[in-house]
Structure 1
Amino acid sequence: MKEYWEQAERLRRRINRKIHEIHLLRQRAEGMNGSGINDMPRTVSPDRSKMEGTVFKIMALEQDIQETQEEYDALIADMETRINAVQDGDARDLLRKRYLEFLPWSEIMKEMGYSKSHVFRLHSTAVAALKSWDIMGLANTGNV
């Protein structure tokens, strides 16, 4: 579970970082065409090569975001399939809240109305159920 969590967080951070970069590039591009409202004199002819370079950077970042989003979506879909195989409803709900909705423990405790110790016990049980599903799933595909 730790590896899944770290990978999902890494992908989410990468997507957010690329979105931020696009935002900054778009702000810079607006400044290049002289359309910003300020008291600085405008250039008569904006530098087209800089503008083109910025547009190409934005397009490359958007492509990277799309590829990373597809990787993230596949990771989430795989985890959702695993979670849906857990028989216990409370354990399934806890796993969804933590690993699909990425809620902090305090929010999970509040939403489920359980104490910290009960949530952690339930989490241990749920993770064990996921691991047993992994073993059975691998055994059924002939990978074990």
Structure 2
Amino acid sequence: MSTTAVKKYLSQARYLDMRITSKIQQITSLNDLATKCTATLTGMPRTPSHGTSTMADAIVKIVDLQTEINGDIEKLVDLKKEITGVIKSVSNPEYQTILEKRYLCFLSWEQISVDMNYSMQYTFRMHDRALVEADASLKVESQVD
């Protein structure tokens, strides 16, 4: 594995978190749609097999999305636990902190630099070193498995 591959591996949680957030936004939109659905009343009789209502369709989609979100949240928790194990295998506590802030808390580089009182360049340098250590740790783990 290379440092690029390690970065991609560690970034999985961020992308899964973004997908969960997107699905939650979709649920909000579908909830809005479901509450706007109204029946149009006319004097004309309808056939009973007209099809399902817009509200029922929206509710089915909401339930399906909620089920997907629950599954994604379980995956995210497992993935973060796995990533935490990789980060803890890095010996330097400063490296661990940078990796945690970036890949578990999803902070920007600017925020990490401010939080740790480092320049951006120093933060990047420390991050690169942390990735090298994480890469070495993952190589050792893959040889053991």
Q: Which TM-score tier does this pair reach, normalised by the shorter chain?
A: 0.7 to 0.9
RMSD: 2.2
- Post-superposition Cα deviations, 1:60-85, rounded to whole Å, max 9, x if no partner, equal 01011112222222222111110011
Match of 1:115 in 2: 119
Match of 2:73 in 1: 69
Give the drift of 1:6. Answer: 4.9
Match of 2:98 in 1: 94
Distance 1:120 1:59 in 2: 43
Distance 1:10 1:92 in 2: 20
Give the drift of 1:113. Answer: 0.8
Are the aligned partners of 2:14 and 2:106 in contact in 1 as well (CA < 8 Å)? no
Number of equivalenced pairs: 132
SS in 1 for 2:17: helix
Question: Letter of the aligned partner of 2:22 in structure 1?
Answer: R
TM-score, length-normalised on structure 2? 0.79
- Post-superposition Cα deviations, 1:8-27, rounded to whole Å, max 9, x if no partner, equal 34322321221111111111
Match of 1:25 in 2: 30
Identity %: 29
SS in 2 for 1:101: coil
TM-score, length-normalised on structure 1? 0.80
Report 1 or 2 for greater relative contact order, CA contacts < 8 Å, sequence distance ≥ 6: 2
- Post-superposition Cα deviations, 1:21-47, rounded to whole Å, max 9, x if no partner, equal 11111112112258xxxxxxx859xx9
Runs of 4+ in 1 over 4 A off after TM superposition: none
Give the drift of 1:48. Answer: 6.9
Q: Is the counterpart of residue 12 in structure 1 residue 7 in structure 2?
A: no
Distance change >3 Å, CA 11–CA 25, structure 1 → 2 = same
Give the drift of 1:98. Answer: 0.8
| Runs of 5+ unmatched residues, structure 2 | 1-5, 43-50
| Runs of 5+ unmatched residues, structure 1 | 35-41
Match of 1:58 in 2: 62
Moved more, 128-137 or 11-20: 11-20
